Amino acid sequence: MTFRVPPDHPALPGHFPGRPIVPGVLLLDAVLRAVADAGRSPPARLLRAKFPAPVLPGEEVEITLDPRGPDRVAFTCRCAGTTVLLGELGWPTPP
């Protein structure tokens, strides 16, 4: 899945004035949408997230999901080959 945050998105003017970057919460929201599009229920928790590089308005972000069993999914977001977000989501362990 790929997505872009348009330069006129209402979250950008305050994040940060003069040099807007896409807020992490918008990136995480896109990951959750990708998980839903893959047919999974909403995760119970965010196990980890790291933002190694910023995303600028209008940049295309590619999301990759990597299932790690029935209760975990790792995710990576990249812009032009650069990792901008990586982490892992968790669900309750099945009985």
Instruction: Evaluate if residue 95 carries a pLDDT over 70.
Output: no
Looking up residue 37, the CATH number of its domain turns out to be 3.10.129.10
Instruction: Evaluate if residue 93 carries a pLDDT over 80.
Output: no
Residue 73 domain flag: yes
Q: Which token pair is 43?
A: 């995760």
38-52 pLDDT, tens per residue? 999 889 999 999 999
Residue 95 domain flag: no
Give me the pLDDT at residue 36, please: 95
Work out whether the CA dihedral 80, 82, 83, 85 comes out positive or negative.
Answer: negative
Residue 65 domain flag: yes
5-37 pLDDT, tens per residue? 999 999 888 888 888 999 999 999 999 999 999
User: What is the tally of structural domains in the chain?
Assistant: 1
Q: Which token pair is 71?
A: 């209760």
